[in-house]
Chains A and B, each alone.
Chain A
Amino acid sequence: MKRIYMDYAATTPVDPRVLKAMLPYFSKKFGNTMSLHSFGQEAKKALEEAREKVAKLMNAKSGKVIFTGSATEANNFALKGIAFANREKGKHIIVSAIEHHCILEAAHWLEAQGFEVTYLPVDRYGLVDPGKVEEAIRKDTILVSIMHANNEIGTIEPIEEIGKICKQKGVYFHTDAAQSYGKIPVDVEKMNVDLLTASAHKMYGPKGVGALFVADSVKIEPLLHGGGHEFGLRSSTVNVAGIVGFGVAAEIAKKEMKSEAQRLTKLRDKLIKGVLKIERSYLNGHPTKRLPNNANFRFDFIEGESLVTFLDMKGIAASTGSACSSESLQPSHVLLAIGLKPHEAHGSLRLSLGRWTKKEEVDYVLEVLPKIVEKLREISPYKGKW
């Protein structure tokens, strides 16, 4: 049976070019970046070259790119590192209601440590209103963290504007660009960000590597103390092979982003147009301000896990924000934040495209999906009305 991967927002395969570049660093060039001998220097050189490539793709001309073990770590580092380094200045942090769990959970933890957090609402497309950010900023606000693009519904936030406001108010601004870095232009200067999170495995690099950009002016405490790696901000023996992979992935993205984004946008819009022909189906997220590879739908009267399972049986890998697929049995906080009722959120489906998605695969999904929706509606007690 055909197997079609439409879950690139969850993770991506490592590009063969990336893998090829990584391989020598597992065995031949295995040195520790902190060693003084030639093995160490070889590794150190590879690390710094990768850092430059990753920095280039976000147009970071100054400041530091600090490699971490994941985007989750980078986000935790940003929030907790800023909070603890600046608590004399204030104890207030602003995030949006649709941030990734690693931001929200870090924020909750900081609340338990005595910090105050404002969770900004979004509109029905998932957009944060920059005016609301401005209103929420207080004298004791030390950090605003708003994601660049949402991982579930693909909405791209007005980061540049929010950044401008934060700059004027003298508040640090962090953006989680795990979903956007490598897919759409990310420019730390233009976006007015002080901190930015990126992830390797969302853009054809390996898992286990993330990065946090930190501008020179930022006061931040490390999470990990030890041998003083990564400018003393992230001690740990450096994952050279993974980071080399991240660097090459960034290099490839820089070269291919423009044409690839155009190609994916076309495929995405074809997919959206086709799926919305299904009766009582809806697009979640913004029609145009969205990642080129993200399509997120909901279908009345059916439940997402069943839908994803049937799709899987037909060889199509997708994901859902249904409660049934979560540990908490609560539907996706993102879908609730854009105003969906729980039963509506249960019927959501995310299809995310990537470097190896072909037109034929989109056609196949458009052929299979309506039949599955129909079948599940036959089983459902809700027919025509809730």
Chain B
Amino acid sequence: MKQSLPYSKQIIEHFKKPRNMGRIKSPDAIGEAGNLVCGDVMRLYLKIGKNKKGEKIIKDIRFETFGCIVAIANSSMLTTMVKGKTLEEVMKIKKEDLIKKLGKPLPPIKIHCSILALDALHEALYNYYLKEKLTMPEELKREHERIQKTLGEIEQKHKEFVEMEKKGLS
């Protein structure tokens, strides 16, 4: 293929051959992020296990994504970054780490697509802690609130947009 796309090799590679794609039959947690309105929705399935030290790890992870090339590549990339890691390690992953892994800088408009995967992961972990009645780490709680707030904002923005269109058409 001619290199016409504004994306890095890493992104194209993950997009062409997504890793850990699909569902887990009886997952320990599911996390979802994004919104159909803006065109990206990501769902992550987690299976939690333990390592030799008895620490909780992400034993298996799968993703499903409705979205653009960056969204799909990113979901795939993130799953490879966290599989086998302890939950503590996983929570340390910052969006900057993920963006760095994606190679050359993304077009600004695409940044939000790339953060979505991490949001879905945090939502999955949040749901896991909630379900297992574990002490909720403060940062997960904060993340969850932020993600839900953004979701609300997107919906509100879309509602306003639709109303504006309707008004324009009347």
A residues at B contact (CB < 8 Å): 1, 97, 119-121, 301-303, 305-306, 309, 312-313, 315, 322-325, 327, 329-331, 333, 336-337, 342-343, 346, 378-382, 386
User: Which partner residue on chain B sits nearest A383 by CB separation?
Assistant: B64
B residues at A contact (CB < 8 Å): 1, 4-5, 15-16, 18, 21-22, 32, 36-43, 64-69, 71-72, 109, 113, 158, 161, 165, 168-169
The answer to whether A329 and B38 touch across the interface, beta carbons within 8 angstroms, is yes
Q: Inside 8 A of A382's CB, which chain B residues have their CB?
A: 41, 66
Give 4 A-B pairs besides A120-B169, A306-B68 with Cβ atoms closer than 8 angstroms: A303-B71, A337-B169, A379-B21, A379-B64
Q: How far is the CB of A177 from chain B (nearest CB, A)?
A: 24
Q: Bound state CA distance, A324 and B114, in angstroms?
A: 12
Q: List 19 A-B contacts (CB under 8 A).
A: A97-B168, A121-B169, A301-B66, A303-B67, A306-B15, A306-B67, A306-B68, A306-B69, A312-B1, A312-B5, A324-B39, A324-B40, A324-B68, A329-B39, A337-B165, A343-B36, A380-B65, A381-B64, A382-B41
Secondary structure of the B side of the interface? mixed
User: Which partner residue on chain B sits nearest A122 by CB separation?
Assistant: B169
The answer to whether B39 and A322 touch across the interface, beta carbons within 8 angstroms, is yes
Q: Bound state CA distance, A120 and B165, in angstroms?
A: 11
Q: Inside 8 A of B109's CB, which chain A residues have their CB?
A: 327, 329
Closest 7 CB pairs of A and B: A324-B68, A381-B64, A305-B68, A343-B36, A381-B43, A323-B39, A346-B39
In the complex, the number of residue pairs spanning A and B with C-beta atoms less than 8 Å apart equals 86
Known: A121-B169, A329-B109, A342-B158. A378 touches B21 (CB 8 A): yes
User: Which partner residue on chain B sits nearest A344 by CB separation?
Assistant: B36
Q: Inside 8 A of B22's CB, which chain A residues have their CB?
A: 378
Residue from A324, A327, A381 in contact with B113 in the complex, judged by beta carbons closer than 8 Å: A324
User: Which partner residue on chain B sits nearest A381 by CB separation?
Assistant: B64
Q: Bound state CA distance, A301 and B43, in angstroms?
A: 14
Residue from A323, A378, A380 in contact with B38 in the complex, judged by beta carbons closer than 8 Å: A323
Q: How far is the CB of B106 from chain A (nearest CB, A)?
A: 13
Q: Bound state CA distance, A302 and B65, in angstroms?
A: 9
Residue from B16, B41, B72 in contact with A313 in the complex, judged by beta carbons closer than 8 Å: B16
